[in-house]
């Protein structure tokens, strides 16, 4: 059995494969030494040729490094050419050309049924033999290159689809999270986005007052999970151990438990890491939005309380004003009655009494006019109360 030739070295000292310099590497399998030598002599000028004397020897050789083409005899001891071809087809698709002395159509069909690519009958014509081997290798290499290109394009297309899908997940997370009113809703949106990436995780959001909100795929975290989440901030921005990945920001931490193996899926693992970092950073920014919403809600509640208290105070003030006006009129009337009762013991004449009454009436009218000179109190009071009620009835209005 002839082994592979190592080839020569180039100017940089690198080994150059002899098969690449020639038209390809051909394995000749035949039990007759003379036939092997004859076929080798025909092909050696154009191809890197090695030989095997049996089917089992050819199988052993091809398991180590498959040639570009195999020339296979039919009648051989042990494993014949047909069985050798069938076994080769279990692990390689290289062209196999049968060279046989059989002339019958039945034998030729057996060769093709076994998986043969082409067939040449003995005695072999050297020119046809060389041409068939060259064409078969060229077609095989072209098909292999096309298959590799197709695979690369499929991987590229899958990459684009995966990237588009993950972009959609990120955008959906932003749309849903930007209206979150509390940290639990924000954490829920973040957890859902991570699940849509096909990952399992725990999520923690830190509040400005030092409290935290944490959720996991199975709901509330256990005491151990809560403790781990609260201490992952010490692990740096990104930390990965096997399939576990920790992503940390000042306000947001997340732990993923089923990251893909970077050795097996480096591209997917890299894309997922980037997506998780973007999600965590976005949640970090959106947590500030929740801060503002909650602060605004507190201020709105305080405003509603103030409006309610102002309404009560103004209502009391209105009642007091009405009571003051009523009491003032009663007091003035009592004063007039008291003065009129004094006329008897003062011995006043009717003329004097009329003059005094006229004077008192003028004074009373001036007092009442002075009380009313502040404007239409009832109308203005009603307007103020209406404005307060309008403000109180809009307590559910979004402020931002």
**Tokens found for residue 4:** 């592979």
Among 215, 195, 209, which Cα is nearest to 279's? 195
371-382 pLDDT, tens digit per residue, is 766 556 666 667
pLDDT of residue 42: 94
If DSSP states are collapsed to H, E and C, what string results for 39-55? HHHHHCCCCEEEEECCH
Say how far apart CA 164 and CA 67 lie, in whole Å. 41
Say how far apart CA 310 and CA 316 lie, in whole Å. 10
**Tokens found for residue 339:** 């003065």
Among 191, 195, 212, which Cα is nearest to 203's? 191
pLDDT of residue 212: 84
Say how far apart CA 265 and CA 40 lie, in whole Å. 44
pLDDT of residue 68: 95
pLDDT of residue 392: 59
- Does the pTM surpass 0.75? The reply is no
pLDDT < 50 positions in the chain: 1-16, 160-161, 395-400
């Amino acid at each position: 059995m002839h082994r592979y030739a190592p080839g020569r070295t180039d100017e940089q000292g690198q080994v150059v494969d002899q098969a690449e310099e020639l038209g390809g590497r051909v394995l000749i399998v035949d039990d007759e030494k003379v036939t092997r030598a004859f076929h080798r002599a025909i092909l050696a000028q154009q191809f890197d040729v090695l030989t095997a004397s049996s089917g089992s020897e050819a199988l052993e050789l091809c398991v180590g490094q498959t040639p570009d083409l195999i020339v296979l005899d039919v009648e051989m001891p042990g494993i014949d050419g047909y069985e050798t071809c069938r076994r080769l087809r279990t692990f390689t698709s290289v062209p196999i050309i049968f060279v046989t002395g059989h002339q019958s159509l039945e034998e030729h069909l057996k060769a093709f049924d076994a998986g043969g690519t082409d067939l040449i009958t003995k005695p072999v014509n050297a020119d046809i033999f060389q041409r068939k081997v060259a064409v078969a290798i060229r077609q095989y290499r072209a098909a292999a290159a096309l298959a590799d290109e197709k695979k690369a394009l499929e991987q590229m297309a899958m990459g684009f689809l995966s990237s588009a899908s993950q972009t959609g997940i990120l955008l959906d997370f932003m749309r849903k999270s930007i209206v979150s009113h509390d940290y639990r809703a924000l954490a829920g949106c973040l957890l859902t986005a991570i699940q849509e990436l096909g990952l399992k995780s725990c999520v923690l959001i830190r509040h400005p007052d030092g409290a935290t909100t944490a959720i996991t795929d199975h709901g509330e975290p256990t005491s151990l999970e809560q403790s781990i989440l609260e201490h992952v901030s010490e692990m740096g921005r990104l930390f990965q151990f096997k399939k576990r990945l920790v992503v940390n920001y000042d306000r947001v931490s997340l732990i993923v438990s089923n990251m893909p193996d970077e050795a097996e899926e480096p591209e997917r693992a890299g894309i997922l890491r980037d997506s998780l970092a973007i999600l965590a950073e976005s949640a970090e920014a959106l947590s500030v939005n929740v801060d503002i919403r909650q602060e605004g809600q507190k201020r709105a509640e305080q405003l509603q309380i103030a409006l309610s208290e102002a309404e009560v105070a103004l209502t009391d003030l209105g009642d007091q004003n009405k009571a003051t006006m009523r009491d003032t009129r009663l007091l003035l009337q009592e004063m007039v009655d008291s003065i009129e009762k004094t006329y008897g013991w003062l011995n006043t004449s009717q003329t004097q009494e009329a003059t005094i009454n006229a004077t008192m009436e003028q004074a009373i009218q001036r007092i009442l006019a002075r009380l009313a000179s502040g404007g239409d109190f009832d109308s203005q009071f009603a307007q103020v109360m209406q404005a307060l009620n309008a403000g109180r009835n809009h307590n559910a209005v979004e402020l931002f």
